[in-house]
């Protein structure tokens, strides 16, 4: 399982996006990733499993916003 964080461009919710896979070879299909709050299409990504998208908890939002507001040269 891998996880990533992203802010929805429509409702501005910080989301935790987890990839759950079967671990087997082949079968990678492009799957849509939707915001669970407003149903906005966040994008599509290839996976042999599925995407689980939930609003981030307070600690995750705080960490995400700290990274989001840090200049790239730091």
Print the domain residue range for 44: 2-57
Looking at the domain assignment, is residue 66 inside a domain?
no
Is the pTM of the predicted complex or chain greater than 0.85? Answer: no
Distance of CA 37 to the CA centre of its chain: 13
Q: What is the mean pLDDT of residues 9-22?
A: 92
Q: What is the mean pLDDT of residues 22-49?
A: 85
Looking at the domain assignment, is residue 14 inside a domain?
yes
pLDDT value for 3: 83
Is the confidence at residue 26, as pLDDT, over 80?
Answer: no
Looking at the domain assignment, is residue 67 inside a domain?
no
Looking at the domain assignment, is residue 37 inside a domain?
yes
Backbone φ, ψ for residue 61 (5° rounding): -65, -45
Looking at the domain assignment, is residue 69 inside a domain?
no
**pLDDT class of 74 with cuts at 50, 70, 90:** low
């Amino acid at each position: 399982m891998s996880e990533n964080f992203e802010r929805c461009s429509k409702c501005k919710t910080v989301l935790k996006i987890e990839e759950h896979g079967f671990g087997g070879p082949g079968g990678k299909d492009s799957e849509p990733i939707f915001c669970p709050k407003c149903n906005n299409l966040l994008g599509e990504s290839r996976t042999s499993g599925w995407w689980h998208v939930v609003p981030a908890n307070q600690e995750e939002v705080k960490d995400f916003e700290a990274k989001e507001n840090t200049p790239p040269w730091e």
